[in-house]
Amino acid sequence: MKLGIVSSHARMSMKRRGIPPLALETLFAYGRIEHAPHGSRVVYFSRVGKAALSKLHPPKQIDRWADMYAVLDPQNEVITVGYRTNRIRRH
């Protein structure tokens, strides 16, 4: 999936959580998409995505980025970005 518009809230979340733009681009290149409530979607790294990520980036970056996620609204705008602490439920 191609990275689209990033909201100001998402940019602030990235800055606050220390997530560089390259990490978000990588998430969209290798992440998995799951549907979430109210028409939104969650993008995250699955096992396959983490394996692809390990071939491209140093292990230190992989450890930091592996639990990252992004939430998209129905128009594909990134509305927030963060690190997972819970498992993402598949529907």
Q: What is the pLDDT of residue 47?
A: 81
Averaged pLDDT, 41-64: 80
Averaged pLDDT, 71-81: 93
pTM here? 0.81
Q: Are 78 and 9 in contact (CB under 8 A)?
A: no
Q: What is the pLDDT of residue 55?
A: 79
**DSSP string across the chain:** -----B-HHHHHHHHHHT--HHHHHHHHHH-EEEE-GGG-EEEE--HHHHHHHHHHS-HHHHHHHTTEEEEE-TTS-EEEEEE-SSPPPP-
> What are the residue boundaries of the structural domains of the chain, listed by start?
8-83
Q: Does pLDDT of 16 surpass 70? A: yes
